[in-house]
Structure 1
């Protein structure tokens, strides 16, 4: 497979995320594999920000990289952390440089111990929204050229779109689930109102008021109370007395 074909495959992977049953973790691990192939680097890691804005390690191409990324997060130090903070790429960072050692002392030492010589960090960003960082590591002392940097940023951008699409779908699914639950609850409550109205020979408004009073007095959900009544677990006389 040519380099162009592998790049196209990476884009197709992202397009496949538009389906509902998309597996985000599997996609990001595949992204790590694509990056190592396309960019000829030793290892890749992906960090994403949680709802509180703190970076979390989501995927890594190998165990050494996973541990290194966790170390960076623990000490809040490294190009990846800075990249996420300001949305600016950091490329061709030699880990044995005195400048790097001064800027990221703990991270640089840990990365060298893991066998890496150079690192790069690219923002996962859509316009002003930065969702994480894509981190590249190389055991060889070689820089990434401008063409490869563009490919790396393109892969990070594609992954960002996939992640945001996944969050949109997840949010929509949550809203749909909440709506379905609300509709189901309403049906159960209507049934319970009908049962009470028939048994008590009263109006449904009075029956509903009794349900609400009992639910509040016993600090229970209205739909759960209605279901208990329908299932015969709650005596309607107890409701009436309350």
Structure 2
């Protein structure tokens, strides 16, 4: 069966990547697919991806095969390699032979490991949306030469395409977390207001006095006031709706 023309393979790759954006989107699965298509379309030996994780400070990695996934994990541990440079600077790393002194000077451990894995040269480009870098994509050759300008242009186009859904999913997750936080805060506020009203009514005190009672009880036990309020309403906590009985006065001694 004859091989598809490159243009058709490129169109198919974009369609495949686009279809993964529906349903339960998985960043790493999406980026592994991206790296595999880079190998097919750019005629390279392997491709790796490092995904920036702002809330963790440590990039997640994947790649087209086990060799490059292991190498990119090493790069994260060492803070070395073209992907790590892209994440730090936001600038692409042009193709460089791994036996060149500049590669060993910039990434000594990464370069040594990459050469042992059979790679000869590497380049990388950021996954960027405007000024925000969300990751980096690396391209490896295992034969003479370095990735040429045509390979790099196509690689950058794929990286630019991939960056958009990654950023959109992060914004969606941020909005979902914010909504959950607001819902939790509203629920806590309602519980506290209900407990204040119940305490004020049953103990015949003001609402402000009831709130002070809740607050002081929570502080003394280092608990959230909403948790104390829930227990007051459920009747399961130490602080009850009924006013505690006053201690009995000691009996007067008999004459």
TM-score category, normalised to shorter length: 0.7 to 0.9
How far did 1:178 drift?
0.3
Change (3 A) 1:237 1:181: closer
TM-score, L = length of structure 1: 0.85
SS at match of 1:135: strand
How far did 1:225 drift?
0.6
Distance in structure 1 (CA, Å) of the matches to 2:201 and 2:64: 65
Task: Work out which of the two has the higher radius of gyration on C-alpha atoms and give 1 or 2.
Answer: 2
Distance in structure 1 (CA, Å) of the matches to 2:227 and 2:192: 9
Kindly tell me the number of residue pairs found equivalent between the two proteins. 241
Alignment partner, residue 119 of structure 2: 116
SS at match of 1:132: strand
Alignment partner, residue 73 of structure 1: 76
SS at match of 1:80: helix
Change (3 A) 1:206 1:55: closer
SS at match of 2:119: coil
**For 2:150, which of 142, 147, 152 is the aligned residue?**
147
Give unmatched runs, 5+ long, in structure 1: none
**For 1:47, which of 46, 50, 65 is the aligned residue?**
50
**For 1:184, which of 168, 182, 187 is the aligned residue?**
187
**For 1:204, which of 195, 204, 207 is the aligned residue?**
207
The 8 Å contact of residues 48 and 68 in structure 2, kept in 1 or not, is answered as yes
Give unmatched runs, 5+ long, in structure 2: 245-255
Distance in structure 1 (CA, Å) of the matches to 2:7 and 2:57: 35
Higher relative helix content: 1
The 8 Å contact of residues 61 and 73 in structure 2, kept in 1 or not, is answered as no
Alignment partner, residue 97 of structure 2: 94
Change (3 A) 1:189 1:15: farther
The 8 Å contact of residues 14 and 162 in structure 1, kept in 2 or not, is answered as no
SS at match of 2:191: helix
Alignment partner, residue 252 of structure 2: none
SS at match of 2:229: helix
Change (3 A) 1:184 1:14: farther
TM-score, L = length of structure 2: 0.81
Moved more, 99-108 or 175-184: 99-108
Task: Note the 1:158-237 alignment, pairs <5 A.
Answer: 158-237=161-240
After superposition, what is the alpha-carbon deviation per residue over 1:62-112, rounded to whole angstroms, capped at 9, x for unaligned? 221122122223333322333333322223322233443444333222111
SS at match of 2:59: strand
